[in-house]
Structure 1
Amino acid sequence: MGDVQQLYDQVDTDQDLYGDWQREDSLRARPLFTVLWLITLAVIGVMVLRMTPNGLDGKKYIPVVVAFVPWMACVSAVTLVCALIGRRRALAVVCTLCLLTQLCWHWGYIWTSDERTHELPSVSSLTGGSADRYARVMTLNTKNGLADAQQIVRTVREEHVEVLTLQEANTGLLQRLAAAGLGSVLPYSVVAAPTGHDNGGVNVLYTAAKPVSTTGDLIAIEASSVPSACVRMASRTVCFGSVHPFSPRPRNQGLWNSGLDSIAKLQSNARLFVLMGDFNSTWDHASFRFLLGDRFVDAGEQNGSWFHMTYPSNVTLFGGRVKVPSLVEVDHIVHDRSVVVGDLETVTVAGSDHKALLGTLDVEG
């Protein structure tokens, strides 16, 4: 009996030790999960800002923070894994709800309900003629005209681009593009007239086909003027525009809202539009979604082909040893619902702080 009692005593001792170890592990993990809770609360705060309505989403640093909403899903996913490993049920539930909400917001980037985007021809098969229904289009913010003109022309040739829009262009860039031979592939152009509120330069639009009409000032806007060219494609006339509203920096926030609202007025215009450029806003900004309204769609959000981040580009840290990835999707191809834009692609262009965004347009999709 004495041996049996000793065995029971030993088991009790082992259980006490195991309980002590568990308590010690819990105490050591407590600071970690406190940090994870704080991170989750910060994510929730960003998500609340994302729901700020149009007109109020341009206050202070709200638009800058909201631009990074897509990355909150990554933060929530990592925190959820840690919560599951640590058996923190409440934290896991909150992270799951955050993650599901973020996935719902960005479902169009994951899955497309428009099967027409899968039926577009390959880039290599595009003929480059205006008589058909297809056209490869491209937009690029040239960073005060510093983008590599030869690379722009080379990309236009390789991608069979028929419509090119540029932002922040200047006389020097236009001359370099001409010298690089852009006129031989895109002979028609519309250059917006300089104004007192240009942001970084003027907007420019090039086309392969002769436009049926052009204007250097499509809408009244407190930003660089919007040049437009209407081109006949198959049985339809498409009006292309190069846009660049102000960025939402604190000193520009009133101009940022008013610029996007000015573009939104095109919803009542009877013409068929494809608007391309640096919108200085993302799908998560209420002002951008207001611009789209019920009429326009953002090609990136409709394609189900993930995000096409365009800014920043060509940025490095620590003397060039660390390359900064593109983090936000501020360059867009916005179009009427009756046409299709797919096969999206980004291209890094030397000299610019934005990537070029390309897509294939089907006007009879």
Structure 2
Amino acid sequence: MGDVQQLYDQVDTDQDLYGDWQREDSLRARPLFTVLWLITLAVIGIMVLRMTPNGLDGKKYIPVVVAFVPWMACVSAVTLVCALIGRRRALAVVCTLCLLTQLCWHWGYIWTSDERTHELPSVSSLTGGSADRYARVMTLNTKNGLADAQQIVRTVREEHVEVLTLQEANTGLLQRLAAAGLGGVLPYSVVATPTGHDNGGVNVLYTAAKPVSTTGDLITIEASSVPSACVRMASRTVCFGSVHPFSPRPRNQGLWNSGLDSIAKLQSNARLFVLMGDFNSTWDHASFRFLLGDRFVDAGEQNGSWFHMTYPANITLFGGRVKVPSLVEIDHIVHDRSVVVGDLETVTISGSDHKALLGTLDVEG
């Protein structure tokens, strides 16, 4: 009996030690999960800002914070894994709800309901001149005209680009593009009407086909004027525009909202539009979604081919040892719903702090 009692005593001792170990482990983990709860609350706060309505989403630093909403899914996913490992049920439930909400918001980047976007011809099969229903298009913010002109022209040639829109261009860049031979590929151009609201330079548009009509100021806007060229493609006439509203910096926030609202007025215009450029806004901004309305769509958001982050580009830290990745998608191809755009890709152009965004459109999709 003595041996049996010793065995029971040993078991009790082991259980006490195991219980003490569990309590100590729980105490050690408590600060970690406190931090994870704080992170989750911050994510929820950012998600609430994402729901700020048009007109109010330009206040203070709201537009800057909201631009990073897509990355919150990564934060929620990592926190969810930690919560599951640590058996924190409440935290796991909250993280799951956050993650599901974020996936719903960005479902168009993951899966497209319009399979026509995957049926477009490859770039190599496109023919020049825009006479058929297809065209390869490209947009680039040139960072005050500092972008590499030769690389722009080389990309236009290699990608069979038939419509090119540039933002923040200046006389020096236009001269370098001409010297690099852009006129031999895209002989027709429209330069925006200069105004006192030009932000970083003027907008420019180049086409391979001769436009039916052009204008240097498509709309009244408190930003760089929007040049436009209407081009005949197959049986339709498409009106292309190069846009660049102000960025949502604190000193520009009123101009940021009004610029996007001005572009939104094109919803009532009868022409068929493809608008390209640096919109200085993302799908998560209410002002950008208001711009789209029921008429326009963002090629990136409806393509089902993931995000195409365009900003920043060519930025490094610590003397060039660390390259900053592109974090936000603020350059867009916005078009009427009857137009199909697919085959999206980004290209890094030296000298610019934006990546070029390219796509293939079908005007009779």
Q: Which residue of 1 aligns with 2:68?
A: 68
User: Scaled by the length of structure 1, what TM-score is found?
Assistant: 1.00
Measure how far apart 1:193 and its partner are: 1.7
Measure how far apart 1:194 and its partner are: 1.2
User: Scaled by the length of structure 2, what TM-score is found?
Assistant: 1.00
Residues of 2 paired with 1:316 and 1:54: CA distance? 34
Q: Which structure 2 residues correspond to residues 323-334 of structure 1 after superposition, within 5 A?
A: 323-334=323-334
Residues of 2 paired with 1:206 and 1:252: CA distance? 29
Q: Which residue of 2 aligns with 1:277?
A: 277
Measure how far apart 1:98 and its partner are: 0.1
Query: Contact (CA 8 Å) 2:191, 2:216: kept in 1 or not?
Result: yes
Q: Which structure 2 residues correspond to residues 1-365 of structure 1 after superposition, within 5 A?
A: 1-365=1-365
Question: Which runs of no fewer than 5 residues in structure 2 stay unpaired?
Answer: none
Measure how far apart 1:131 and its partner are: 1.7
Per-residue CA deviations over 1:111-161 (Å, capped at 9, x if unaligned) read 000010011000000011322100000000000000000000000000000
SS of the equivalent of 2:264 reads helix
Per-residue CA deviations over 1:190-212 (Å, capped at 9, x if unaligned) read 00121111000000000000000
Residues of 2 paired with 1:268 and 1:256: CA distance? 21
Per-residue CA deviations over 1:280-299 (Å, capped at 9, x if unaligned) read 00000000000000000000
SS of the equivalent of 1:26 reads helix
SS of the equivalent of 2:38 reads helix
Residues of 1 paired with 2:137 and 2:131: CA distance? 16
SS of the equivalent of 2:300 reads helix
Residues of 2 paired with 1:89 and 1:341: CA distance? 43
Measure how far apart 1:302 and its partner are: 0.4
Per-residue CA deviations over 1:15-67 (Å, capped at 9, x if unaligned) read 00000000000000000000000000000000000000000000000000000
Residues of 1 paired with 2:143 and 2:354: CA distance? 8
Residues of 2 paired with 1:80 and 1:247: CA distance? 34
Residues of 1 paired with 2:131 and 2:69: CA distance? 41
SS of the equivalent of 2:153 reads helix
Measure how far apart 1:99 and its partner are: 0.1
Residues of 2 paired with 1:251 and 1:279: CA distance? 17
Residues of 2 paired with 1:317 and 1:235: CA distance? 50
SS of the equivalent of 1:200 reads coil
Measure how far apart 1:320 and its partner are: 0.3
RMSD across aligned positions (CA):
0.3
Per-residue CA deviations over 1:210-253 (Å, capped at 9, x if unaligned) read 00000000000000000000000000000000000000000000
Number of residue-to-residue matches in the alignment: 365
SS of the equivalent of 1:357 reads strand
User: Identity of paired residues, percent?
Assistant: 98
Residues of 2 paired with 1:169 and 1:129: CA distance? 24
Poorly superposed stretches of 4+, deviation over 6 Å = none
Question: Which runs of no fewer than 5 residues in structure 1 stay unpaired?
Answer: none
Residues of 1 paired with 2:73 and 2:320: CA distance? 29
SS of the equivalent of 2:241 reads strand
Query: Contact (CA 8 Å) 2:131, 2:209: kept in 1 or not?
Result: no
Query: Contact (CA 8 Å) 2:345, 2:358: kept in 1 or not?
Result: yes
